Amino acid sequence: MGERQKRVETIRIKYFSDKIDKLTYIDGKSDWIDLRAAEDVTLKQGEFRLIPLGVGMELPRGYEAHVVPRSSTFKNYGIIQTNHQGVIDSSYCGDNDQWFMPVYALRDTQIHINDRICQFRIMENQPKIVFDEVEHLKHEDRGGHGSTGKQ
């Protein structure tokens, strides 16, 4: 059996800052691509801020980007992403449509230009769906929310 062939997509990217490293995709290492803070940010505990990521992209038709914190973002910076996952659709692709990460600080913190604070991947848009309303679902009950216990 041969290795599964991955489709290659080309994404047009605009950099809003020359102070951040260019994005890189390392095939086979991770499907997620790191994004960096495009300016120095100082936050006090309890403050909200949109952190510019210094990039804008023309995503392929039929795709969207999912933006989430890196696994070390909270530990290193004490921030959480306020929407927990950002979704950037392919229509957000104009010359001024820079990507941002909305964050809330749980402690006083500093983020510097070029710090890797989040990551993204592109995903195919959801297919067209139709809801079929029924009185009963066909499968066996699992017992409702929380039914698998603590262990």
Q: Which residues are catalytic?
A: 89
From CA 26, how far away is CA 49, in angstroms rounded?
A: 30
Number of Cβ within 10 Å of residue 18's Cβ equals 8
In which order are the strands placed within the sheet that holds 63-69?
Answer: 33-36, 116-124, 63-69, 86-89
Is the CA virtual torsion 113, 114, 115, 119 positive or negative?
A: positive
Are the CB atoms for 84 and 30 separated by under 8 Å? Answer: no
3-class secondary-structure state, position 121:
strand
Instruction: Report H helices in the chain.
Output: 73-77
Residue 129 zone, left/alpha/beta (φ > 0; ψ -120 to 50; rest): beta
